[in-house]
Amino acid sequence: MSNGIRKTVFKWIMVAVSIALFGCGDQSRKDAEIYQEGVTAYEKGDFSAALEKFKPVAEHGHVQAEYYVGIMYLKGQGITKNEKDAGIWLGKAAERGHADAQENLGLIYAKGLGVERDWVQAAKWFSIAAASGKETAANNKKVIEVHMPPEKVAEANTLAQEWLAQHKK
């Protein structure tokens, strides 16, 4: 199978997955298609066009688009870098179970990017992401726990366990 055919097949698989995950209503189908156009633009490095596609879809609650918007704010891709807005968008996706967003939100709290540095929140989000199999999040948690007193580590673990219990799949 040629590379072009593979990309086309992948594109339509992603549209189908988005429809399956977010419903099959007209708006959901339209959002899935617009989201995929954003992915295509992002992969080409056309970040302004990608953001133009992702942002309205993210505003409709498309979790993957929320993640992309957050990352684009964090990196300044297609928009002026804004760590506070990055945290808002990544927080939305993280709360909805997006493991990469959870890990990045942990990094935002650990580094104090657009927020006050908060080791407890960082460890919480790293724990949650690690529970989804993100090994780097587990490693990041170990690194920051060195800077935390035992009671703060326990607090972060409790917060993570509570979040995981409330968001069982």
CA distances from 15 to 9, 30, 38, 67, 99 (A): 10, 10, 12, 17, 20
Confidence of residue 39 (pLDDT cuts 50, 70, 90): very high
Confidence of residue 26 (pLDDT cuts 50, 70, 90): low
**What is the DSSP annotation of 104-145?**
HHHHHHHHTSSS---HHHHHHHHHHHHHTT-HHHHHHHHHHH
Q: Where are the domains of the chain?
A: 1-96, 99-169
Share of the chain above pLDDT 70, in %: 84
Q: For the chain, give percent helix, strand, coil, nearest 5.
A: 80, 0, 20
Q: Is the pLDDT of residue 2 over 80?
A: no
Query: For 104-127, what is each residue's pLDDT tens digit?
Result: 999 999 999 999 999 999 999 999
In one-letter notation, the amino acid at residue 70 is G
| pTM (predicted TM-score) | 0.83
